[in-house]
Structure 1
């Protein structure tokens, strides 16, 4: 198995390029996740009455969250397509393309007329553009992680992998800030047209992201070990050769997003409609969670580089199970300061898992299949994890009238990811030697 050049090599240009890759992957994933989470917040606050009007508020909200879930369905397709070409012709080109797809879809969402204006065509167009968003973010994450980890020195792969990982809370923070500003600036008009501004201004962010990426050089490992002998059909080879590892990593990468989307997306709707919390207060709590996670993930990643990925990941699963119960106990009190404490603690627990997901996935698959394998694990995990979590939570609350079944759902899933992380530690793949 060939080894890759790393920033520890004598050439200082390679070390400088590694730092540029870290910055560019962070910036690009931040932009992509801003677009993605802007939709999530809008689905919780606006899209129900605007695109799925109904006499039953629950049915309207289910329609909005269903379109949110459609984006997750498209993500594996985007990951497989981008992974196929990323593992054959290079990572950089796919990362630029992913920004174009995501940015274009986001701007168009801001321009789609509502149901009152064009009828059934409104939700249909919304679904199509949400699918395009899913393709874009599906193509993005696996490539960004692959580039960052392949440029990393051997003992800093978790730390370098943290760069695209913290793009997620950074993007969520920007999306929440945008929502807060628009709520304050447009007032009652926010529900009708104010929300659209956040989508349209995404075009500026996309231009900045493409500028940051266009001058990057290709991954050194791709140039030395993949370019001359690429896999013919990477996703078929991943299924054929790495099925157990793929199944384990789907759970490991997917479950943390269940808790994340429940406490920061579903809770926006539940907290305002059922408990009377102010929208802006919940959005500010989300921003605090994001700031804390941006700090925690790289710190925990550095610790994982020293102590091991498996202990950190398993600990994350246990902490998520415990804090999920605490979240509902505090959030359901109706006291905003207790709701804030529960949300912050629960969301912080996911940082232990997220700190090890990028290097763990990258180590699972060899270089010639890495973009594809990482994308498939993360994006299929996103469907079984965060994509359907708001729908499940809404349905469980409607059927039981209690949040207890939702807490049980998260606890079981979190303990499962801890078990899968421990099981992953028993697999040694060729990727471990690179």
Structure 2
């Protein structure tokens, strides 16, 4: 479940009570301050543009919002706020949720003195002022460690495999994310890694992202992998060479995601090849898109309704949806994909079944193979004598991979080759835009 506790809505009862006066039980549940003369209390910027401080006529003070002005930040230095969050977590855990995605968890605490952030001397941007500062004082404060430990303690007190996954895309130091989790320090179970989310369709880009994790991550940490989410253009569109889904590339991407060591996160619709929808300005709902148009057109294009069938609103709702359905919904939907054995959906299902039935793909050691043809990515997964070889060709040309061992490789899943076929004497012949999963025959 998504747990958003850095901030609440300005319509939340807590905030309504807090803004009512400077003398009420919740007056200190949010971060209120007097201004510095006629200016806000400090120089902090909102992630979505402008000052992070909003003047409130009712209370005659500024309140802090590191995101939208309609999303005032909670005061995590108030023990009553922390207790309210613990109570909220227990409420949902009692109902049986398996865990929480902690939205922007590294923003919970702010500097106790609310000191201004130092400026970046090298910053030359015009529109996105948030990037003009080093965010030393508005995120990643030392108190966060004990808070995450408390959240982990609450989750671990429930039976079964409950978990916490931390989400943020604003960490200034990639390595800092790893300090927030692990069993030894009782932090988060997982931290989202968005590096391959921004990789171009080149083998070397994906290799670099994988190696970066392997280099920076603590020993025994569990990786996470994401190709699409609610904040970026869908990878079905990013990696296609035209206006339609590039099915071959989409299957290669799916193979990568589901064979890497770690926890794959799938974004709704990627399994059927949903594409980004280009919306005109008057249909934009995302506040940053409205504010920064046309330089940034918002995130609505990746948030359109799930395409279930070819009926009205793609079967998503009988009412008018918040965002329009992609115009391709009559051709791209679950109903059609489920009936087509060659569809992307059916390939995802085969991949997931193979992953669940193959311990080597779940927990096996991963090793990247060096000295392979340009624009190919080859890696192994091995455990208890079982050795799997994964070959991914990101090129539109055939690739011959000399693996320098005498054994044959049996194909157990591929996008072009037949299952059960073999690559002889350690030579992997990949078709253009092909993915293969093989087992070494000993």
Global fold match (TM > 0.5): no
Q: Which structure is richer in relative contact order (CA contacts within 8 A, separation 6 or more)?
A: 1
| Structure with the bigger percentage of helix | 1
